[in-house]
Amino acid sequence: MPNGRRQILSFLLPGDVLTGSLFQGPLQFSVKALTAIQISTMKREEIDARVAVNLRILWAAAECCADEARAADETIAALGQFSAEERIAHLFLQLMKRIASRNVIRDERYRLPLRQQHIADAVGLTPVHVSRVLSSFRERRVADLSNGVLEVFDLRELQRLGALN
């Protein structure tokens, strides 16, 4: 951003689709990999050709885009109305839900290759304050994020803090 700060709009998980450049011009944001990745791309012409054959593809892409919009709305609500603790709890819940829908989770432990700086840029706080909140979570036995692993001890409390409805 112009002021030198960074806003992380969302975290892509393995298998996620990036529709950003499908329905509009160039991306308004950049994408950065936190892990080793594999990407599949599709050229416009190929998409047009496939859509011509099977209309459902276009519906699916649109739905995917709509899901992005819905997630963005949730983020807006969290950033606008939540305190630091609640925002971080909300981010955790979002990521957990998405990871859980892909993998089988055992023991409420989630692999998250995130630095505190990433969390800070995603929820609009300073890394220093993120550290404080995480320490508090740890101390209160709510959750613990260290060494790239998020461990949830008290899911209820986390939901009480960061759930939107």
Q: Which residues bind DNA (CB under 7 A)?
A: 83-85, 115-117, 124-129, 131-132, 134-135, 146
Residues of this chain, 74-113, that bind its own copies according to CB under 8 A: 74-77, 79-81
Q: What are 104's two structure tokens?
A: 């089988």
Q: What stretch of H or E contains 110? A: strand 109-111
Burial class (CB within 10 angstroms; exposed 0-12, middle 13-18, buried 19+) of 142: buried
CB of 66 to its own copies, least distance (A): 4
Question: Taking CB under 8 A as the rule, does residue 3 contact its own copies?
Answer: yes
φ, ψ of residue 10 in degrees (nearest 5) = -170, 160
Q: Name the binder of 94 from its own copies, DNA, none, CB < 5-8 A by kind.
A: none
Nearer to DNA, 42 or 128 (CB): 128
**Distance (Å, rounded) from C-alpha 162 to C-alpha 37?**
30
Q: What stretch of H or E contains 152? A: strand 149-152
**Distance (Å, rounded) from C-alpha 13 to C-alpha 110?**
12
Q: Name the binder of 79 from DNA, its own copies, none, CB < 5-8 A by kind.
A: its own copies
Q: Which residues bind its own copies (CB under 8 A)?
A: 1-3, 5-7, 9, 19-20, 22-24, 28-29, 51, 55, 58-59, 61-63, 65-70, 72-77, 79-81, 121-124, 163-165
